[in-house]
Amino acid sequence: MDMRFAFVFLAACWSHPPADAPVVEHQTQTPSILAAGVYWVPYSTYDADAPKALVAYVTPSEATAKKIVKALDDKLPFGFPYVIYTDEINAETPRGIAVVTAAYATTDVMPGVRIAGVTPRVLALGTDPYPTAENPRHVTVIDRGAPVRAWSKRAVESAEQDADAAELPTEDARKRFVHEHLGVPACTVKPGDLFVVEESELKYYEFAPVRCNGQLAYVPWTSSLLGHAVIVPEPRGGWRLYQVVGAECDSPIIESWAYGPNGRKPALETDEAGCRG
């Protein structure tokens, strides 16, 4: 199913920057920081207004993006930086990987300092809810936690064909069958690894595309932070991760996990929005 959904991580606001505020933000009065993600169009992953501005380092190079992410490690509030492709938000800027350091409710912000030869910029967000590039690109980011096994495109498609032939009674049964018949992994990818991928390579809500030795491969969708997840601070400390894991009748299915630096804990709930007239 070719479903073009764009989301950006959000999360609650801080009225004042926390102690670990981004080193890249240099203003006497820093505006309130919204949290990480593409969340506001066409579905709402989290109930909040869209940011007015994203501050990001934009580069066409995966290697450079990785250097920028590494340089920012532990220097920003939890959840930042998050990484997307500019196509996902129709940003009015040259195309590339966007390493986002902050999201703001105002456009009156200053970008910050150069890292790895890249100067950060304030991104102007497009108004179209779907990517408008001829062949939109995305960035698959492997989630926090343990290393993840990846399977070749051939292995995934073979398991899908076998599942279709088995004529299983439910979609959940079909998904379990596929995951149980993937065979030997092609490689293992590490938390934080990032891969630029094409829209046509996505298997929405089931498998996220990666690369094994330069060849297309797949990891389970929820082993990634691809596209539509939001990290929300919990009132009593810690965080919760919301991620869209499906869509039905043009409504999102959102799953929730307790979340932290070591990744996801068992799912807390699933919100099936269901069909709306």
User: Tens of pLDDT along 26-65?
Assistant: 333 345 667 677 777 666 777 777 788 889 999 999 999 9
> Can you say whether residue 11 is alpha, beta or left, with left for phi > 0 and alpha for psi between -120 and 50 degrees?
left
Residue 108 buriedness (CB in 10 A; 0-12 / 13-18 / 19+): exposed
Residue 106, token pair as written in the block: 């105002």
CA–CA separation, 244 and 253 (whole Å): 6
Does the model's pTM come out above 0.75?
yes
Question: pLDDT band at residue 229, thresholds of 50, 70 and 90?
Answer: confident
- 230 vs 19, higher pLDDT: 230
pLDDT in the model for residue 115: 95
What is the pLDDT, as a whole number, of residue 35?
65
Residue with tokens 């709306």: 276
Cβ atoms 102, 33 nearer than 8 A: yes
Helix (H, G, I), strand (E, B) or coil at 158: helix
The rounded distance, in Å, linking the Cα atoms of 56 and 116 is: 13
Residues sharing a CB contact under 8 Å with residue 119, sequence separation 6 or more, in sequence order: 57, 111
Angle at 185 between CA 183 and CA 190, to 5 degrees: 150
Q: What is the pLDDT of residues 132-188, one digit of tens each?
A: 778 899 999 999 999 999 999 999 999 999 999 998 999 889 999 999 999 999 999
Cβ(178)–Cβ(203) under 8 Å? no
Looking at this protein, which amino acid is placed at residue 164? D
First to last CA, the chain: 21
